[in-house]
């Protein structure tokens, strides 16, 4: 088994595509209207679906807003330069909700942004994730 996609319901498909493709740099992989069901699916990602997990944006015709609830967490994206990425997102009109910096109780450098529907996206500085876990594992190996 492998992870194929995560589905998000969006209130404005064009606005969401602009955010995910133009601001976050994903590619629109495929898009299809389903007139009988009155919805459109658009799949976006950083690589082909055959090798990468992607995001399915579902637009239900005539529905422009959803209650996100409190169970949803976030999507995480690895980035090479978190500070430049946040600046670029901000310059393109994106909303940075947590500035880059180490996570609480760890050394992983993170930031958070929001898409047009309010979904949270965590940015993680590549190479810093899992630092605390690696250190704890190393310490346990030394003790053994």
49, 87, 122, 136: which one is catalytic? 122
What average pLDDT is seen over the chain?
A: 90
Q: In this structure, how many other beta carbons lie within 10 angstroms of the beta carbon of residue 20? A: 24
108 pLDDT above the threshold of 70: yes
Using a CB cutoff of 8 Å and minimum separation of 24, what contacts does 15-22 make? 15/116, 16/42, 16/57, 16/59, 16/115, 16/116, 16/117, 17/42, 17/44, 17/57, 19/94, 19/115, 19/116, 20/44, 20/55, 20/57, 20/115, 22/92
Mean pLDDT of 123-141: 61
Read off the pTM.
0.81
143 pLDDT above the threshold of 90: no
- Residue 49 bears catalytic tag: no
Mean pLDDT of 93-117: 95
Structure confidence at residue 132 (pLDDT)? 44
Q: Between these two residues, 105 and 143, which has the higher pLDDT value?
A: 105
């Amino acid at each position: 088994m492998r992870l194929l996609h995560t589905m998000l319901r969006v209130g404005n498909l064009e606005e969401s595509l602009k955010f995910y493709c133009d601001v976050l740099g994903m590619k629109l992989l495929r898009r299809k209207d389903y007139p009988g069901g009155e919805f459109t699916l658009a799949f976006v990602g950083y690589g082909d679906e055959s090798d990468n997990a992607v995001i399915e944006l579902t637009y239900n015709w005539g529905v422009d807003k959803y209650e996100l609830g409190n169970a949803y967490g976030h999507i995480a994206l690895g980035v090479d330069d978190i500070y430049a990425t946040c600046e670029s997102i901000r310059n393109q009109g994106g909303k940075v909700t947590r500035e880059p910096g180490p996570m609480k109780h760890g050394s992983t450098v993170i930031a958070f942004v929001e898409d047009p529907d309010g979904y949270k996206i965590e940015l993680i500085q590549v190479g810093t994730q899992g630092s605390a876990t690696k250190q704890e594992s190393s310490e346990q190996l030394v003790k053994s």
